Structure 1
Amino acid sequence: MPWGEFKDTAGERRVFQRRTLAVVVILLLLMGVLVARMYQLQIVQHETFSTMSDKNRVQVQSVAPTRGLVYDRNGVLLAENRPVFSVTVVPERVGSLDETLIELQRFLSISDEDLDRFHRRLKERRRPFQEIPLRYDLNEQEIASMAVHRHELPGVEVNAELVRYYPHAEMTAHALGYVGRINRDELQRIDPVDYAGTNYIGKSGIERFYEDLLHGTVGYQHVETNARGRTLRVLEQESSVPGADISLHLDMRLQDRAFSLLEGRRGAVVAIEPETGGVLALASVPGFDANLFVTGIGVEAYRELNESLDKPLFNRALRGQYPPGSTIKPMLGIAGLDTDTVTREFTIWDPGYYQIKSKGRRYRDWKRSGHGWVDLNDAIAESCDIYFYDMAVKMGVDHMHDYLTQFGFGEQTALDISGALPGLVPSRDWKRAFRNEPWYPGDSVNMGIGQGFNLATPLQLATATATMANRGRWAQPRLLKQVIGDAPTTEALPEQQRQDIVLNNPDDWNFIINGMKDVMHGPKGTARAAGKDASYLMAGKTGTAQVFSLAEDEEYEEEEVRERLRDHALFIGFAPIDNPKIAVAVIVENGGSGSGTAAPLARAMFDAWLLEFNAEEAGLIVGAAEGVSP
């Protein structure tokens, strides 16, 4: 049979056509689906996907504000900002975090502390793609190494940031405080919007008290980035607002003098300008380098500071609570006169001891042979304990507590000095609450000479002295002098709350101050050696605070007692008497004698402020007037 009889050409053509048509229909349908999808993506959802694309390409970055600067009263820079280079890692952009860290250790010095701190921050709550600091303060060689190897390390950046720096480190640490890295607890209480991009916050002192003023306002910028997250260009920017610059009443010349006078000792000096309440010097010695805490102090360095017997981290000026000793006798003298417990003419015989009852305990005077007949002026000038024992028992604890409180004891009275402790002025209620005992006459005896339960800080002693210098007018202690700007202002300072001390006889102020003058210039004054040959009149009061108790008739030889068990030496004073320019409180731990150790330090502070520095300023004025450099 011929081959053609078995081949159905027409049928095959029809099958081929149907199949071709089906394929064409399918292709058209697929093309339609693609076109429809493209239409949906390009037209219908254009804005949605354009926005998503921009989010990948364009990012919003916060711009941290520059922290405000801090100056002393003469324009000396106390706290500035300096550029510091640091290595940061963005975990989301790193392939293998462990390998990256190992690679970085090849050309960077990364300690175990750095790694521990990095891993702790890695576990903390944070924003996506937020950089985590690994190493701070790179040196020039490390910066060069990072520049060479940067392309090998995706997600690793070298950033420059302004970091707080304290030029006078140790001398201003306790007065200014310091800033440090924001920790987890602080993250919970700060506004994340205000602190976006900010890594540091005030931790103590002025830096913490005026944090809102110094911090500034955060800015933002829209930046275009590549696939690796590197910034290509800035598209839009809203500049940050720098923090305000401030000047303090602090005078670095006087602060430096206080530190030099206390060198090799442990103690504190606080100097206040009575007219304004401005703190001229606030020295706690020994101090510490506040710069160590800014980017994070190492474990060994912190342990060395914390375990030192001299306690450099302890702010003695604000938190050192010491028995004030005889330094509160002028304040108690005011109380005795104003309550009519004693009169100016009232005298008492001092045989060297005092007894509440004829056969009771003998409370000794510092002068074993006694002072003989003394009145209130003599009692202040010679620091007669017996007179104040008798007056305290007669006046009673209630009056003593009332008047000492009016002078600021037992309270934190500073306007902008954070962290200061209140000390303690005991009362009947206090003893009942904390000792579960009644108040005994013997407690009043001890309170009359600033011993017993009494505690005061150097800042409180200086504050009370300034109030005495002002004849009862209060000017609460403050560090802020003004906010620097086009129109300098002090509005940031809290309002004063203290009431002036009003006496029944205002002339009692001058009477007590005359007794303080005799301390320095009188023939029997306890600090007459410190006041010798002065070209101005000063008022003062020496004091000694026991570190450990003695038996009733026991004495000790200072040289035989371990240095750290010797009495603390105290002194308060102001000058000049008629127009006070400076009030000072000095405590030298284990210094022994207030008259021999603390009073000469205060005299040196007076001389520096009233004579030396005033002469320097006069020279500057003359030089400027004559057009020559002084």
Structure 2
Amino acid sequence: MLKPINTFKNTHQEHKLFKRRAIAILISISILSLLLLSRLIYLQVFQHKLYTTLARQNQLSLVPIEPNRGLIYDRNGVLLAENKPIFNLVITPDLVKNIDITIQQLGSFIKIDAEDLKQFNRQRRLHHRFEPVPIRLKLNEEEVAKFSLERYRFPGVAIQAQMIRFYPQGPSFAAIVGYMGRINEKELQSVDPVNYSASNFIGKTGVEKYYEAQLHGTVGYQQVETNVHGQIIRILKQTRPIAGRSITLTIDSNLQKLAQQALGSQKGAIVALDPRNGEVLAFVSNPSFDPNLFVSGIRQQDYELLQNEPGNPLYNRALRGSYHPGSTIKPFISTGALLENVVTPTFTIHDTGEFQINGKGRIYHNFRRHAYGDVNLLKALTVSSDIYFYNLSLRMGINRIYTSLKRFGFGSPTGIDLPDEGSGILPNPQWKEKSYNTPWYGGDTLNCGIGQGFLLVTPIQLASAVSALAEWGDRWKPHVVLSWRKNDGIVDFTKPQHLESINLPPDILSFIRTAMQHVVNAPGGTAERFFPGVPYTLAGKTGTAQVYSLKNDERYNTKTVAAKLRDNSLFIAFAPVEKPSIALAIVIQNSVTPAPQIARKLLDYYLIPASPIPTITSQQALPVIGPEKKSDNIDESKKPLNSSNIRDESISPKMDFEDDETDEDSYDDSDIKKTDSGQDEQPKLDKFNKNPANPVSAETKPNKNNNAEDSLEMDDNNSLAE
């Protein structure tokens, strides 16, 4: 008989095995459950903020808001720079699968040319993938409507409203206001990238660049809900941007426009300052350009046209142009000669129209080869005798000339609140040795003594220097900002910055001021013919700078000389003499219109009050109004040096006027090698010149073939005994 099955099983052992297995499984499940629970706790508690943010980014986005840029006004409230709304087509690369195909499809109904693609690709490199990049600016209404109908086909593409800069006054203010343009990689590295996350434009030149931080403002943000195509459904939260501060400039827009019109088609620069505080009243560089061309990114062909245009309108002559000052430098050299007792006001020479160093070698002439007879310092400044200043410059020596001009700020930037100011060149033996590895010669000193050779100045330097004469040695830093307007409406006025005064005795300054008055109102004065019947007191100095050298037997003829070889015309002035309110510096390259003629227009506008024009019938005659007679009396403490010994009737020069004589000054020598100050745009050696406009350049080194008899070895002070 068979045994029951149970007799073959060890049930006790099986229970024990099952129990061990159940415990092992339970432990494993418990451990895994603990691990899972720990992970859940970590994710839900410790990483809650992270994953909440990541989840929200599927439907929420943070969009930067560009701040409104500050406006720019002139001192009379005329708007010079404003913001206008435009519509741009933008692409967010992170939301577009194939950008090339998308752009191709967009081009079927919106014009996108090669220049737009070039700018788009350049801007893509400067932005994150999640930031919108403009592909086309300034859409018109028809293009906006077409895209709105097709928008569903283009996820990641949108129309973005933006404020863009506009300059309503056009070219007249380009030299001072400047312009904005697309931001580049170098510029983006110099600013806060967060603050410029919504901006594609930045100030490039002028006030727009110098005061970029104040004009730009602070970026704002919007937290928005978007759909799967990246389109905004609603705005959840907003931090408003802070608009930039608005600026009121010191510029008088009417004076600025008048100066620009007076120059016409001539190349040149005009700077007008208020000598009492350094405010810039006019700042003109001619020819100019329309700054609106650059705002949205100028096209390559337009930029090439501007670069190749005659006169180089992109070059800021008022700020960076380096010119020979000609005879306008003589008053400043004369202050040093009087201070160092090199000459006295009564020191007289006999001007025969010719001069030689040590009585031998090259013969130097007066401008137009005039002879003035007996000449003292007053007459030399009035008629602009080069022969007198050849003598004076050798007696002073280059080191004392250097000190005299340095005192008035020549050779250094004025510090005006505009970017990229030039410094000109104030030469001395050390500078020439370093630049050319050649010694200093007596002929170099003669050149500097009449404002030629290596000596170069900028128009803003000339205006600042003549302002110091107007204010009896007080100097103010030139500035273009009159006031700032904050967002709360509060106006902060700019405080003028007083510079170190020029410590010259009042009698020396009085003498120079008197001599400059003689230039414009005494018989024989080089500017006397431009100011007949002037109803205000005026002090000035003319200057003419040659741009090429005449041969020894060659005469300058304005009727036959080529336009590009015409002399440069300069004029500095301040008025009224008793209480100056305006100081001028005018430089005209290859001039047709003399600089004093333009100065008369500007001074008349600024100093003569406007009066209502009466209605005149055909039977009425125009009233004749004579000039107001004003006394030239000077305070007792500021009398001219030995003025009692100076006779005005001795000023008239001995000269024979030629039929073609139209120049206002009489100075400079046809045999002295001149630097081509007319070629300020690109410093290179002109084929007619031996001295370069930019002597630092290796290609522009001067002719070193100096004859032994034309050179003069100088002592440590580079001066000659009387």
> Does TM-score exceed 0.5, indicating one fold?
yes
What percentage of aligned pairs have identical amino acids? 42
Query: For the structure 1 residues 47 and 467, does the alpha-carbon distance in structure 2 shift closer, same or farther, using more than 3 Å as the test?
Result: closer
* C-alpha distance in structure 2 between counterparts of 1:369 and 1:546, whole Å: 16
* C-alpha distance in structure 2 between counterparts of 1:398 and 1:436, whole Å: 18
Deviates more, 1:93-102 or 1:348-357: 93-102
Of the candidates 54, 67, 70, which is equivalent to residue 68 of structure 1? 70
Match of 2:383 in 1: 382
Query: For the structure 1 residues 89 and 374, does the alpha-carbon distance in structure 2 shift closer, same or farther, using more than 3 Å as the test?
Result: same
Letter in 2 for 1:298: R
**Matches for 1:489-568 after TM superposition, within 5 Å:** 489-490=492-493, 496=498, 498-503=499-504, 505-568=505-568
How far did 1:487 drift?
A: 3.8
SS in structure 1 at match of 2:491: coil
Query: For the structure 1 residues 580 and 256, does the alpha-carbon distance in structure 2 shift closer, same or farther, using more than 3 Å as the test?
Result: same
Match of 1:112 in 2: 114
* C-alpha distance in structure 1 between counterparts of 2:204 and 2:127, whole Å: 21
SS in structure 2 at match of 1:468: helix
Write the deviation string for residues 117-174 of structure 1: whole angstroms up to 9, x where unpaired: 212333x142231111111111222222222222222111111101111111211111
Letter in 1 for 2:598: L
Unaligned runs of 5+ in 2: 1-28, 613-722
Report the aligned-residue RMSD. Answer: 2.2
Match of 2:714 in 1: none
Write the deviation string for residues 69-91 of structure 1: whole angstroms up to 9, x where unpaired: 11111111111111111111112
Of the candidates 595, 599, 611, which is equivalent to residue 596 of structure 2? 599
**Matches for 1:109-508 after TM superposition, within 5 Å:** 109-122=111-124, 124-485=125-486, 486-490=489-493, 496=498, 498-503=499-504, 505-508=505-508
Match of 2:56 in 1: 54
SS in structure 2 at match of 1:587: strand
User: In 2, are the aligned partners of 1:352 and 1:367 still within 8 Å (CA)?
Assistant: no
User: In 2, are the aligned partners of 1:178 and 1:203 still within 8 Å (CA)?
Assistant: yes
User: In 2, are the aligned partners of 1:224 and 1:235 still within 8 Å (CA)?
Assistant: yes
- Equivalenced residues, count: 577
* C-alpha distance in structure 2 between counterparts of 1:293 and 1:54, whole Å: 40
SS in structure 2 at match of 1:191: coil
Query: For the structure 1 residues 369 and 182, does the alpha-carbon distance in structure 2 shift closer, same or farther, using more than 3 Å as the test?
Result: closer
- Report the TM-score when normalising by structure 2: 0.77
* C-alpha distance in structure 2 between counterparts of 1:490 and 1:277, whole Å: 14
Query: For the structure 1 residues 447 and 536, does the alpha-carbon distance in structure 2 shift closer, same or farther, using more than 3 Å as the test?
Result: same
* C-alpha distance in structure 1 between counterparts of 2:110 and 2:49, whole Å: 46
How far did 1:612 drift?
A: 4.6
SS in structure 1 at match of 2:332: helix
Write the deviation string for residues 353-386 of structure 1: whole angstroms up to 9, x where unpaired: 1112222221100142401111111111111111
* C-alpha distance in structure 2 between counterparts of 1:127 and 1:391, whole Å: 67
How far did 1:602 drift?
A: 0.6
How far did 1:426 drift?
A: 0.7
* C-alpha distance in structure 2 between counterparts of 1:366 and 1:185, whole Å: 50
* C-alpha distance in structure 2 between counterparts of 1:128 and 1:108, whole Å: 23
SS in structure 2 at match of 1:361: strand
How far did 1:488 drift?
A: 2.4
SS in structure 2 at match of 1:394: helix
- Report the TM-score when normalising by structure 1: 0.88
User: In 2, are the aligned partners of 1:483 and 1:490 still within 8 Å (CA)?
Assistant: yes
How far did 1:551 drift?
A: 2.9
Letter in 2 for 1:519: V
SS in structure 2 at match of 1:483: strand
Unaligned runs of 5+ in 1: 1-28, 617-630
SS in structure 1 at match of 2:271: strand
User: In 2, are the aligned partners of 1:542 and 1:570 still within 8 Å (CA)?
Assistant: yes
* C-alpha distance in structure 2 between counterparts of 1:603 and 1:279, whole Å: 19
Letter in 1 for 2:523: P
SS in structure 2 at match of 1:529: helix
Letter in 2 for 1:160: A
* C-alpha distance in structure 1 between counterparts of 2:44 and 2:520, whole Å: 93
Match of 1:18 in 2: none
SS in structure 1 at match of 2:530: coil
How far did 1:521 drift?
A: 0.7
How far did 1:49 drift?
A: 3.9
Query: For the structure 1 residues 369 and 312, does the alpha-carbon distance in structure 2 shift closer, same or farther, using more than 3 Å as the test?
Result: closer
How far did 1:569 drift?
A: 0.9
User: In 2, are the aligned partners of 1:546 and 1:566 still within 8 Å (CA)?
Assistant: yes
* C-alpha distance in structure 1 between counterparts of 2:370 and 2:550, whole Å: 18
Query: For the structure 1 residues 529 and 89, does the alpha-carbon distance in structure 2 shift closer, same or farther, using more than 3 Å as the test?
Result: same
* C-alpha distance in structure 1 between counterparts of 2:294 and 2:144, whole Å: 23
* C-alpha distance in structure 1 between counterparts of 2:266 and 2:372, whole Å: 32
* C-alpha distance in structure 1 between counterparts of 2:514 and 2:587, whole Å: 23
* C-alpha distance in structure 2 between counterparts of 1:354 and 1:421, whole Å: 34
* C-alpha distance in structure 2 between counterparts of 1:499 and 1:46, whole Å: 64
Letter in 2 for 1:564: K
User: In 1, are the aligned partners of 2:484 and 2:493 still within 8 Å (CA)?
Assistant: yes
How far did 1:436 drift?
A: 1.5
* C-alpha distance in structure 2 between counterparts of 1:51 and 1:62, whole Å: 18
**Matches for 1:10-25 after TM superposition, within 5 Å:** none
* C-alpha distance in structure 2 between counterparts of 1:478 and 1:405, whole Å: 20
User: In 1, are the aligned partners of 2:287 and 2:312 still within 8 Å (CA)?
Assistant: yes
* C-alpha distance in structure 1 between counterparts of 2:402 and 2:231, whole Å: 67
